[in-house]
Amino acid sequence: MDFVVPLAAVRPSILELLARPSGTGRLQVIQTLSAGVDWLVGHVPPHITVCNARGAFDAPLAEWVVGAILAMERGLLQSRDLEITRTWTPFEPAEVAGRRVVILGFGSIGSAIAARLEPFGVEVIGVARSPREGGDGREAALGLDSLDELLPTAQVLVNMLPLSTETTGLLDARRLALLPDDALVVNGGRGRTIDAIALLRELDAGRLRAVLDVTDPEPLPPESPLWSIPNVLISPHIAGDSAEATVRTFKIAGDQIRRFAAGQELLNQVPRYLLE
């Protein structure tokens, strides 16, 4: 069975295979063990179908986003900073209830985030590549053309965008400036979807706050000013990781191999625009 290739720590060898003109003749399908496929952009010939591990990481990523918002809004990060300095300084944190949370990138992960946030009494607005009315198991979402109108009202902006030619730098200086003062930016998508210099300026000025699981560049170098900004919480691209998620990815890959062998339609096929 050499037509379906599950990918884990074999990215370099797969990219080398795709770079050889004679290396992809029989290859029909690539099944990744990740949700993101941006590392394959520009490398996959049109005759090869790419499938991702959509759904495997919904739960841990959604939990991370909820935890990130609670940590920042309820003062947990500030309390941790006070603990490090052994300082007892009471303060009054904000409530999460009543916040307007805009989720940018409203696929299966975005929907999972919304489901976990709604019990906290927040207002959730989803933004997808194009607007949809809901149904077919999917929640309704506004389109990207509504983003500029929504940003001035977003007290929390959750960015779950995949990286593509459309989304690279989408949250640029102009759009970041549309966010209200003290807005919280939570990035669990891809670092390069946000203008890194513009974000650093907003955070360093104290106008915005951020929780970043992904950065640009990545890994974040030790000399980056982001490490020392007090209104920033950074995790090392682990938001979607868990032992349970790893098991789910291999179950997805196994199911895809069985589907391929039986001539059935493969699940989680990645649109070509995300590969070009």
Which residues have a catalytic role annotated? 190, 218, 237
What are the φ/ψ torsions at residue 236 (nearest 5 degrees)? -85, 60
- What is the SS3 assignment for 158? strand
Tell me the H-state helices in the chain: 11-19, 58-73, 76-84, 108-117, 147-150, 173-178, 196-204, 243-261
CA separation for the pair 150, 133 (Å, rounded):
18
- Check: CB of residue 130 under 8 Å from CB of residue 143: yes
- Check: CB of residue 83 under 8 Å from CB of residue 107: no
CA separation for the pair 180, 265 (Å, rounded):
46
From the number of C-beta atoms within 10 Å of its C-beta (0-12, 13-18, 19+), residue 9 rates as exposed
Q: Quick one: angle between helices 76-84 and 58-73, nearest 10?
A: 70
Reduced 3-state DSSP string for 204-251: HCCCCEEEECCCCCCCCCCCCHHHHCCCEEECCCCCCCCHHHHHHHHH
